[in-house]
Structures are given as structure tokens and as C-alpha cells.
Chain A
């Protein structure tokens, strides 16, 4: 029997951008908030001098411990799923701040197109362009309604950027100026311009000047030290929850952080959530934390799994296509981020210098701006070049045809270490009836609970859009003047490698409880005091990186929760069907 604790106003699971923003906002509003985080407590102190590629990038030191929990994965319903066993195949955050600490920080708003994708496609290309078997639908909220939440999150995070020449309307400019334009980024931009595109500097959570956010938190200036993606920041200069929303919550005196607290169930009385059951991983003691409002911000996979294990909401059944929990799973996997790599024989770049979000891009080919009337796919994608700051273990590009080891490999990998640039395409990903999440019938976690099972396969849509993107990247690389250009191959099938934490869906938002689990305040239709925050709410994967939208969704959810608590309950939005 779990030990029952005293009731609080709000209990939040997870401390990334999702859980962190909600915690800060509600604690500021005067509510008693308890946050449960399965990992350790971390602060900037933990990351000082942590410039160790082997430990952080190769060994994924601050990512999820798979010996406790992982997922299983297969491509179709008639296969037996196998567990994703090693950290080389899985990237999900752990510890205070979650993935939102070791993220790279490339920050994009989704285009208006994404929010009303089905209506837009029908309007532009006709109803019969909606592919059979896709679960494409509008999100239930428009960009214009959503804009203020983007604005709020960008200010909290001190996002540093310049306006996308093709971007949607903004209510205010970015709070900080863009990152530096390095020679390789300039080369990309010049090539893109020559091809008629509209390049700009990627907006970034690597903050470009010392910045105080509206909550009074100070983020330091990025030094482009290169130990960024996969790492916690050495200088408190990458915007993340541990330098922003977590300290903001802590300052209120209304916030209690419990680390090593592994949530296993949401308790539910058939109408409402009553609290969270978790295990203190230090003592092994199990607790029940009752609360008026329960918030899940444990990331796409854990959000979905916690609901399935708790029996809240109807699980999605691909055979009947009914049910909502686990539905609309999408992700940017090995068929995305493909493009062209150029090798320059006479040019050397300072590739070991950089920052996670340092880069350039253009939006001309995104779903918003592309013309799909003649394409053999729907949607579009961003074209990007990044300058992460390449460390030597994980960056050894060589031209195709070079052996992968031995004398020739060594020679070429050393020669091209600072002479190779990569341009890639980030396509939108559509939801299909056959890609979904449920509980695995065989494999168990360390507590004996079933693992989450992913069923995900590629369609011609995925392969065709990837092919298109690669071709466009190649054209840019040609203009950039590379001596050797290698293009990526389009994989036939999903490789079950979960890189980059770009996975969405499972608890999606919408207006119709038949097809969505939460309304646009991320309030569950089936439990009005349960709010499920994160990319789990996205009905499809937009053609840019997800986290600005995750942060903005968290602000919207926080607004909803506050309203809910003030008004004393009820659904904040009524179903529209």
C-alpha cells in the first residue's frame, strides 16, 4: 500500500519545459505545486566543466536509464515488437529539466498551416488529396489564437533570432538578436539566395547576450563553446528549465520539487484524477500524492504510457480505429533530417566551434509555402545547415566509397574533419491509422509494469517527401561549391532508432472527443482535472523542430488550469461534435 500524503493543489509529473512552465505559472498564481521528477536534482553547477564527449554524447549520461524503463518497437501490427535495448538507440531526457536541458535549442514557431492542416489542404488542393488512411485533422486552435503563447515562451526563454522573411505575423520581435553568421553559414545563405530562397539565421535558445527574462531569471551569453546538444550548459547560457522556470517556481515558496520520484499511476475515480502514485527511488517507498489538479509533463512516451496504465481514456484500437489514447503517433526518425553532404578540398571551416542552435535555414519549401498540387506528397519541410561544434568521436564524415575503417578511412576522416558541411531537410510527418502506441504484452519495466509499445512504419508519403528534400539539399550544396557531394539514401523502413526526442502524439488535442484525448487547453475530455502537456498533444508532426510549440502549449495549459481552479471545475471547452 502506498503511503498517502496530504493533498496539494497541483501535482505535476516531469520538469522539462512542459512540467516546468506549468509549475512556475501555478506557483506564481499562489497554488501549492508539487513536481515529481524521476531523475536527480541538477543545476548549472552539475554541468560546469562537463565538456566530455564520451560521457555526454556517446554514453548519454543525462538521458533515460533504460534498465528501468524503455519501449518496444515494431513496424506493423502482425509483428512481435522488440525492446529498444541500448542508449545508442534511444534519446529521452532524465533528471531535472529533462530533454529540455540537453536539447540543441533550435527554435521555430509552427506555421499557421500546421494548426489547420486538414482544412488548408482541402482548401488548397481539394478534399480528395487527403490520403486514405491518414488521420490528418486540424488542431482545434488557429495560429492567431496561439501566437500569444509563443510570444510568452520566447520571452521566458530569451530566444535569440531574426524574423523569418516568410514567417507568420508576430506580436513582438525576438527578445534577443540572432546568433553569429559564420563563414559556412554565409556560404549556405548566399547559395540559397542565388536559388531564389529566403534564408535567415535559425532562432536559438543559445542566448546571444546576457538577458533577464520577465520572471527575473538571468540567462548568460552563449560562448559558442560547442558542448551544447546532449550536454547541460557549462555557463547557464542555453535556455532550459533549470535556469528559467524551475528557479521561478522555487522563488514563490509555493513549489516543492521531489526528485528520484518515479510516477507509476494516475489515480482515477472514473470521473476525475485524484492524484499520482510514485516510488521514491532512493528509499523504495511508494507514495500517493493526492491533488485537485494532476498534470502530466513526462514527454510523449511516458504521458501516453501513464494514461494507458492508469486506465484513463479509451485506448486506441487500430482495428476498429476507435479510441484515442495512443492515436496519431508521429515522429521525425531516420527518414527525416536527410539531405546532402559536401566535401571541400580547398576550404577549411572552424567546425569544432559552435552552438546547438547555431545555423541557417529557409522556409520556402515548408508546408505553408510549397505548392503541393503537382507533388507526389503532401506538406513540406525546412532546409537547414547547423554548426553544432563537431567533436571528434561522433563526427567523422568521409566521401561515399571510402572504407569505414583502416588506413584510407583514417586519412580521409582526418582530412575532411574540418572540410565537410551538411544540409538537411526537416519534413512534416503525417499521422496514419497504423502508427500508434499501446502497452506491450510481453516486456516489463523494473517495477513489473508493461512497457510502451510503438508501432510505426513508413508510407510512400514519407519516402517521396524525403526524396524531394534530399534533391533540394543537393541543389543548395552544389551552389555552395562542394567538390564532392554525397546524398543520403532514403531508407525503405523505420530502423527503430529513437534519436532527438522528436516524437509526438498519443494524447492529442482537438475539438472532438472521438478523435482527440484533450481539448486545446490540454484538459482531458475524460477527466476534467487532468491536463496532459507536451508534444503528446500534437495531432501530427510539423515541419520544424517542436519545442517552441511545446513551450507555448505549456503556457496555454497553465492558463487553462488557473481558470479551472478559479472557476471551481468544469470543462473549459465543450466538445464540438
Chain B
């Protein structure tokens, strides 16, 4: 806990440094390098983007609430129990460790909640017409369930397995016991309705990683900690001055909130 708080303080400082760098040196160099200003061929759009970016420097979120519960609420998950199972599962997939926070702290459960409530969860741009001839196919998406329903079915199936095996709900059992159940689903060994347990697990894993690393505007990757752990600097205008460097160039991240015109 204390360690995390110290991290956060130093992160705030780093964030300010990063912002200064973007506002100052980085961008000026960038404009110079493109040769666009002199040539007069600059697209209004491009230039506009740069100017706006210079003016924008919003302070970072200072929310220190452990689970983001104070700020967020569920859209997709009606039952708290389903959400509790989800939280426990994503934290096992992306756990807190010496590198930094895990999925819960990063806001992954809320990220998943929002994604499932929208186009992705409803398979809005996917082909969902029948006939559905092979709904338990493990290699191709052939389920008639959309992702939202697949997630609910899968989480409830995991909870059922837990109740049967341990007489406790999934989020109440030990981490290793949770891992065993997750592994059985990953390998497609457990039965669930409407899809293979393997497909469900893949969806859960994929969305956990997305929630850890997508731009914070989607509700995960809180304080860009997902990016910081892997030294990813977020959306930046240009690397043309750094890309030939022999050394690894470490930059603190900025997010779309800072970048977008």
C-alpha cells in the first residue's frame, strides 16, 4: 500500500515532466523536422493538431481509491455476484506483483463492463446470422451467443464449478483454487452452455489484457500504470529524433486526453 502511494507521487512528478517535454522540445523539434512550416505545404489539420496539443495539459487523475469503486459503477453486469467473479478472475490473469498493480487496481473489471455494454459485447460488426452449426467450435467463433452473453455464461459456469468443488463461490476460494478452475476453462475441459469454455476463457484473457493496456479513456489502465510497467509512452507525435538511438529511450506516458486535438 505505502509502496503504491510513493509510486503514485513520483508518477505525478514524472507525468509533469513528460508533459513539459511534449509541450516544449519534442514538438518544436518535430515541426522543424518535417520541413512543413517552411515549405508551406502543411495541412491545416496537422498544424491544428499540434497547436491544440500545446494548449492542453490537464492534470492527471488523483483518484487513489483502491478499486475505483467510488468513481465507477456497472453498466452491463446487473448482478454484483457476476462482477465479483469477474474481478477475482481478471486479477488472477493479471495479478498485482512487484512490477505494479494488477487488473482490479487498473480498472479492468469496469473496462470489461463498458466494452460488453457496447458494440463489441453485442458483436455489432460481426456476422451473427444462422444457421449456427458448430457452437462449441474451439478454433473459430461459431457460438450464437454474443460476447456479453458468452461472458455471463462463462463466469456463472466458473462459479458453479467452484460451488460444486469447494462449496464456496469463485471469488471466495483461494487463488490457487481459482487458477485450477481457470486452467480447466482455458483447456476447454469444463462444460458451459452455448460456447466452448476455451472460447470463453480466450475472451476473458483478451479483454483483461485490453483493459490493462488500452488508453485510459476506456476506463482501464488507470493512471497509465499498465503502460508504465512496460515503459510504453502512449500516443506520441514523433519518434524521428529518437528512433536511431542505441540506448533505450525511456519516456513517461501521455494518453489520448493529452494528445488529441
Contact = CB atoms under 8 A, between A and B. Distances in A.
A225 B236 contact: yes
A392 B141 contact: no
B215 A54 contact: yes
B214 A393 contact: yes
Interface in B114-140: 119-120, 123-129, 131, 133-134, 137, 139-140
A53 B46 contact: no
Nearest to A419: B248
A333 to B, nearest CB: 13
Given A67-B127, A391-B232, A49 B238 contact: no
Contact of A404 (B142, B205, B227): B205
Interface string B77-104: 0000000000000001111010100000
Nearest to B204: A405
Contacts of A349: 248
A82 B137 contact: yes
Contacts of A53: 213-215
Interface stretch (A8-16, A153-161, A216-224): A216-224
A58 B212 CA distance: 14
A354 interface: yes
B237 A181 contact: no
Given A221-B34, A405-B205, A418 B231 contact: yes
A410 B97 contact: yes
Interface string A416-446: 0110000000000000000000000011100
Nearest to B248: A348
A51 interface: yes
A344 to B, nearest CB: 11
Interface residues of B, number: 71
A390 to B, nearest CB: 8
Contacts of B239: 223-226, 350, 353-354, 389
A26 B261 CA distance: 37
Interface stretch (B8-16, B36-44, B59-67): B36-44
Interface stretch (A85-93, A98-106, A509-517): A85-93
Interface in B213-232: 213-215, 218, 226-227, 229-232
A349 B261 CA distance: 30
Contacts of A406: 92-93, 95, 179
Contacts of B92: 405-406
B2 interface: no
Nearest to A413: B230
Most A Cβ at <10 Å: residue of B137, B232, B249, B256: B232
A80 interface: yes
A15 B238 CA distance: 29
Contact of A210 (B41, B126, B218): B41
Contacts of A444: 129
Nearest to A208: B240
A258 interface: no
Nearest to A73: B140
Nearest to B236: A225
B120 A85 contact: no
B99 A224 contact: no
A514 to B, nearest CB: 35
B190 interface: no
A89 B41 contact: no
A410 B95 contact: yes
A496 interface: yes
B35 A210 contact: yes
Contact of A220 (B34, B208, B260): B34
A209 interface: yes
Contacts of A82: 133-134, 137, 140, 142
Contacts of B231: 352, 417-418
A44 interface: yes
Given A235-B46, A352-B232, A410-B94, A67 B213 contact: no
A236 B125 contact: no
B248 A418 contact: yes
A141 interface: no
A87 B126 contact: yes
B246 interface: yes
Contacts of A352: 231-233
Given A54-B215, A66-B126, A209-B35, A49 B139 contact: no
A397 B145 CA distance: 30
Contacts of B218: 54
B235 A51 contact: yes
Interface in A56-88: 58-60, 65-67, 70, 80, 82-88
A86 B34 contact: no
Contact of A85 (B140, B208, B240, B248): B140
Contacts of B137: 82
A236 B43 contact: yes
B149 interface: no
A411 B182 CA distance: 19
Contacts of B129: 83, 443-444
Interface of B: 30, 33-36, 39, 41, 43, 45-46, 48-49, 92-95, 97, 99, 119-120, 123-129, 131, 133-134, 137, 139-142, 179, 182, 186, 205, 208-210, 212-215, 218, 226-227, 229-233, 235-240, 242-246, 248-249, 256, 259-261
Given A88-B141, A350-B239, 6 more contacts: A180-B243, A223-B33, A224-B238, A236-B45, A354-B243, A410-B95
18 contacts: A48-B49, A49-B259, A66-B126, A67-B125, A83-B129, A85-B126, A181-B244, A223-B33, A227-B235, A236-B45, A348-B248, A350-B243, A350-B248, A354-B243, A405-B205, A405-B208, A406-B92, A442-B131
The 8 closest A-B pairs by CB, nearest first: A51-B235, A223-B238, A353-B239, A49-B260, A392-B213, A348-B248, A54-B214, A417-B230
